[in-house]
Amino acid sequence: MTTLPDQKDAVGFDPVRIGAFGRCLRNPRVLIAGGFLAIIGLLVLLAPWLAPADYRAQIDLPLTNAGVLGTDDFGRDVLSRLIVGVRTSMLVAVLAVLVAGAAGVFLGLVAGFRGGWLSVVIMRGIDILLSFPPIVLAIAAVAILGPELRNVVIVIGILYIPRFTRVVYTQVLSLREAEYVQADRVLGASSTRTMFRTVLPNVTAPIIVQGSLSLSFAVQIEAGLSFLGLGAQPPLPSLGTMVGAGRDFLEVQPSLLIFPAIVIVAIVLALNVVGDGLRDVLDPRRGQS
C-alpha cells in the first residue's frame, strides 16, 4: 500500500515535484552538467585549500610554464588564480541571483495576490526596468557607484528582479482562484499567511528554473563587467578579468586566455543545461507525459 503524504508535505512541497528532480537527473546531459556544477560548488567552498599557491604571490618569472597551467604577466600561478577566480565569479553571481530572487519573488507575489493599483505600479515598474539593456545600465551604475564587487552584486541583483517578478506574477494570477487557496481564506488564514504558506510553495518550480537560468546570465554579466575592468579589482582575479588579461598576450601566451575562457563556457553551459532540464520536467506545458 502506498502511503499518503501528510498534510504538511502536501502544502510544503509537492511530492510529485521531488520525483521530477529525480526524473530530471535521469537525463544524462543534466546528470553530467549537474555533476560538473557540484564540483564547481566544492571548488568555491574549498578554494583557499585547493589553490597550490597564493594567488597574489609571484612564483616564477612572468609568462613561463611553471606550475600546472603556467604563470601570468606578473609571474603568478595561473591555476591558483583560476580557482580563486571561479570562486569570485560564482559568489558574485549567486549573491546577485539571491538578491534578485528575494526581491523579485516578493514583488511578484504581492502584485499577483493583491492586484489593483499595487499590481499596476509594480508591473509597470518592472517593464521600465526591462527597457535598459542590463550591461549598459550595469556599466553606468557601477561606474558611478564605484567599481566594487558589492556594487556589482547590487546592480546585477536589481537588473534581474523583473525575470522573477514576471514568472511569479503570472503563476500567482492563475493560482489565486484555485480551490485550495480559496479554502485557506475561508478557514480564516490571513492574506500574508496564504501568500507565503499556501501560494508561494506552489510557485517554487518556475522560481527554481528561473534561478538556474538567471545564474547563467549573472555569471556572464559579472565576467563582462570584470572584463571591462569594472568588477573585481586587482589583484583579486575573476573569470572576466582573467579573460581580459589574456587578451593582452594573445600572441605570447594564448593559454592565459584559453583556460579561463574554457572554464566560463563550461560553467555557463552547465547552468543552461541544468536549467533547460529542470524546465522540461517542471513546466507542465512542456511534454510532461
CA dihedral sign, ordered 270, 271, 277, 280: negative
Smallest distance from the beta carbon of 192 to another protein, in angstroms?
Answer: 29
Interaction of residue 141 with another protein, rule CB under 8 A: yes
CA dihedral sign, ordered 40, 42, 44, 48: negative
**Cell numbers linked to 165:** 517578478
Rounded to 5 degrees, φ, ψ at 27 are -75, 115
**Cell numbers linked to 203:** 510557485
List 24, 53, 246, 282, residue binding another protein (CB under 8 A) = 246
Q: Which residues pair with 76 in a beta bridge?
A: 58
List 119, 210, 220, 238, residue binding another protein (CB under 8 A) = 220
List 223, 232, 278, 282, residue binding another protein (CB under 8 A) = 223
Of the pair 165, 220, the CB lying nearest another protein is at 220
Interaction of residue 34 with another protein, rule CB under 8 A: no
List 64, 269, 283, 288, residue binding another protein (CB under 8 A) = 269
Interaction of residue 40 with another protein, rule CB under 8 A: no
Inter-CA distances, 181 with 110, 114, 154, 193, Å: 15, 13, 34, 11
Q: Which residues pair with 58 in a beta bridge?
A: 76
Q: What is the DSSP letter of 189?
A: -
Comparing CA positions, the residue from 143, 163, 50, 52 lying closest to residue 99 is 163
Per DSSP, the three-state class of 62 is: coil
List 122, 264, 278, 282, residue binding another protein (CB under 8 A) = 264
Interaction of residue 121 with another protein, rule CB under 8 A: no
| Number of shown-chain residues binding another protein (CB under 8 A) | 43
For residues 212 and 215, what is the distance between their CA atoms, to the nearest angstrom? Answer: 5
List 118, 120, 145, 183, residue binding another protein (CB under 8 A) = 145
Vertex 218: Cα angle to 264 and 256 (nearest 5): 25
Smallest distance from the beta carbon of 144 to another protein, in angstroms?
Answer: 6
List 1, 4, 61, 136, residue binding another protein (CB under 8 A) = 136
Interaction of residue 27 with another protein, rule CB under 8 A: no
In sequence order, what are the residues at sequence separation of 6 or more whose Cβ sits closer than 8 angstroms to the Cβ of residue 221?
134, 135, 138, 156, 159
For residues 199 and 181, what is the distance between their CA atoms, to the nearest angstrom? Answer: 7
Interaction of residue 128 with another protein, rule CB under 8 A: yes
Of the pair 211, 244, the CB lying nearest another protein is at 244
Q: Give the footprint of another protein on residues 225-244 (CB under 8 A).
A: 227-228, 230, 240, 243-244
Interaction of residue 137 with another protein, rule CB under 8 A: yes
List 26, 45, 254, 283, residue binding another protein (CB under 8 A) = 254
Contact 106, 168 (CB under 8 A): no
Interface residue list for another protein (CB under 8 A): 124, 127-128, 130-137, 139-141, 143-146, 216, 220, 223-224, 227-228, 230, 240, 243-244, 246-247, 250-251, 254, 257-258, 261, 264-265, 268-269, 272-273, 276
